[in-house]
Structure 1
Amino acid sequence: MNAKKNVRYLLLIVVCVGLGLVGYQQFGTITAANTNNADIAASVSPQLKDGLNIYYFHGNQRCTTCVRMEKFTQSTVMNQFLKQVRDGEMQLNLVNVDLPENQHYIDDYQLVFRTVVIANTYNGVDTDWRRLDRVWELANNELAFSQYLTEEINAMVNQTKTNQALEVPSSKVPTHG
């Protein structure tokens, strides 16, 4: 009888330790990531007035997938586009849309869930933007996520260059008269 009681207690201890570890992995990791991300987000300047703004939108409550997607976004931008970031042509903006001052982004970019948006901005106004909803499909594959983000950023940069090349400077527009 005493052996059965000891086995029960041992099993109860194993279950409690297991639940504690799962809770720590789920919530401890997110808390640590949020602390680090808050430092990074605090260092981000206001959005560029002219250039490509890359937004990672998140909320107050964050799952491990959201934290992972932010990490993948930061890593891709800093590894693939460091020169453009340094030259002030491109900027990563980490935006908490749960804050009242940032809720306009939900309407601006038709956000249904947390995601990445790239926006070409000229004189402080978005001339074009893309919401990258496929990031959720690719959230468990850093290479595929990075390739998708890189392709979309490059496509936006190329589209912007094409549009600028097609514009006729106002001084060269013929006048009739």
Structure 2
Amino acid sequence: MTGRLLLKVLLFGFIAAGVGSMLHKSALSRAAALKARPAAAAAHAAPVKASAGVSQNTAVVYYFYTNTRCASCTQLEAYTREAVETLLSAGYKGWRVEFKGVNVEEPGNEHFTQDYRLESKAVIVQKFSGGKPLDWVKLDKVWILLGDNAAFVNYVAAETRQALDKK
């Protein structure tokens, strides 16, 4: 019996050390990201460079990802694409809406991480008018709604419409 107890204690200690290590690395990563952010970049109205091929009054619903992708990450992309292609493909109040998946680890795409203050995979709605970037919004609830396709798709469409309704 004491051998089993000792084994349980050792396993628990190993798991606790692993979790502690992950939390420590995560805290260091977040601290570095916060330190790298300029203090004045708090407003979402700070535009980024215009995407190639963006025409007059276009909203781009971006899904930003990295080389490492899990099943949830690919599902996030699929649901976001579905929202744009099924509920927004006809446009909205004079705005053309398009979907773009962007790997931020590919050469030339690194700037998106700073432009949108990305810390993980994310969905961003960016407005462009006449090729010039306007305001943008990060859709924070996509991870929470990932288990419900209909709620996810409706959320992305509703948030995109709300962003386009803002003057």
Q: TM (normalized to structure 1)?
A: 0.60
Measured in 2, the distance between the counterparts of 1:88 and 1:95 equals 21
Indicate if the aligned counterparts of 1:69 and 1:139 stay in contact, CA closer than 8 A: yes
- Quote how far apart the aligned CAs of 1:125 are: 2.7
Indicate if the aligned counterparts of 1:47 and 1:93 stay in contact, CA closer than 8 A: no
> Structure 1 residues 130 and 88, CA, compared in 2 at 3 Å: closer, same or farther?
closer
User: Counterpart of 2:40?
Assistant: none
Q: Give structure 1 stretches of 5+ with no counterpart.
A: 1-44, 164-177
1:131 paired with 2:138, answer yes
> Structure 1 residues 47 and 96, CA, compared in 2 at 3 Å: closer, same or farther?
farther
User: Counterpart of 2:68?
Assistant: 61
Measured in 2, the distance between the counterparts of 1:88 and 1:101 equals 27
The structure in which a higher percent of residues are helix is 1
The letter of the residue matching 2:144 is E
User: Counterpart of 1:48?
Assistant: 54
Indicate if the aligned counterparts of 1:56 and 1:95 stay in contact, CA closer than 8 A: yes
Divergent runs of 4+, >4 A: none
- Quote how far apart the aligned CAs of 1:123 are: 3.1
The letter of the residue matching 2:76 is M
1:122 paired with 2:135, answer no
Q: What count of residue pairs does the alignment treat as equivalent?
A: 115
- Report sequence identity in percent: 29
Q: 1:1-177 counterparts in 2 under 5 A?
A: 46-50=52-56, 51-84=58-91, 89-159=96-166, 163=167
Measured in 2, the distance between the counterparts of 1:133 and 1:88 equals 22
The letter of the residue matching 2:91 is Q
The RMSD of aligned alpha carbons is: 2.0
Measured in 2, the distance between the counterparts of 1:58 and 1:101 equals 14
3-state DSSP of counterpart to 2:59: strand
Largest Rg, 1 or 2 = 1
Indicate if the aligned counterparts of 1:49 and 1:124 stay in contact, CA closer than 8 A: yes
- Quote how far apart the aligned CAs of 1:88 are: 7.5
Measured in 2, the distance between the counterparts of 1:157 and 1:47 equals 19
Measured in 2, the distance between the counterparts of 1:64 and 1:98 equals 19
